[in-house]
Amino acid sequence: MRDLIRMPQFTLMLGWVPRPADAPSLSALSPQAPGSVMAADTGVVPSQRLPFDALHLLGGTAIQWIARDSSKPGRSRADGGEGWVAITRPEFSARILRPAEAGDGAQLTESCSTGDSDRPAQGILPLPAASKEYRAAKAAEIWAALRQDLRGVLDFDTLAPPSFVSSHRWASCFTASPLGPPAMWNEEGRWAACGDFCLGPGLERAAESGAAAAEAVASMCGLPPLPDFEATCS
């Protein structure tokens, strides 16, 4: 579903909008933070295992979250190595992803088809192609930044280099300015929209937004109120 429009042949519209930019009626209200990057590495030796499974780096300059992926059920490694995932801060991502020819205020976007043209909108620069070499170079930058941020909060000076490191980017990973309401809906148009662009980034806020949209849909269908979301999750 690319546009939130009324379609008389349906009694109720439900759909998935990958990001608010795909819905013109929402894109102007919910700007996206420039692409954030995730880096993964494996092969941490036992003597250097970090004393946590996940860490939210409140004082980090580049990294906001790291997690031991191999601690999840079914993801342990037979060789004893560890897999880690790091998510960067939007400001850091914007800095390392910005092409050399782009100014500081330039907006970035993944290269993708917009329907009539493959060219991005005016004033928005496409990100470079994510080649193997490009991903490796960005992963190296993230690894260096991760070491620096961890040095500021943990009592050690060095980490052995990982046996493997890679990176991935999301051009619209975080909502820069959440709308505020838990969800959006229009009873006359018979549609409801939800996501992290309403309440802010994070799985919990996205779930709260989905619960609010479900409540709106239930009301449109004449159904009784749904169970309280927070009470259900507690």
CA neighbor of 2 nearest in space, from 11, 15, 194: 15
Question: Rounded distance, CA 24 to CA 88, Å?
Answer: 28
Q: Is the pLDDT of residue 132 over 80?
A: yes
With 0-12 CB in 10 A as exposed, 13-18 as middle and 19+ as buried, what is 156?
A: exposed
How sure is the predictor about 209, in pLDDT bands with cuts at 50, 70 and 90? very high
How sure is the predictor about 24, in pLDDT bands with cuts at 50, 70 and 90? very low
43: its two tokens? 């092969």
Bridge-partner residues for 170, per DSSP?
Answer: 36
217: its two tokens? 């849909």
Q: What is the pLDDT of the chain when averaged over all its residues?
A: 70
More confident residue, 171 or 96: 96
Q: Are 83 and 70 in contact (CB under 8 A)?
A: yes
| DSSP states along 69-130 | GGGSTT---TTS--EEEEEE-HHHHHHHHS-TTS-TT-EEE-----SS-SSPPTTEEEPPP-
Vertex 143, ends 140 and 149: CA angle to 5°? Answer: 145
Name the strand (E) or helix (H) holding 56.
Answer: strand 54-56
Question: Rounded distance, CA 87 to CA 92, Å?
Answer: 10
Q: Is the pLDDT of residue 79 over 50?
A: yes
CA neighbor of 109 nearest in space, from 131, 93, 88, 125: 125
CA neighbor of 166 nearest in space, from 130, 202, 191: 130
pLDDT of residue 22: 42
Q: Are 62 and 87 in contact (CB under 8 A)?
A: no
CA neighbor of 54 nearest in space, from 69, 36, 42, 44: 69
Q: Is the pLDDT of residue 114 over 70?
A: no
Structural domains in the chain, CATH included, are 33-174 (3.90.660), 177-233 (no CATH)
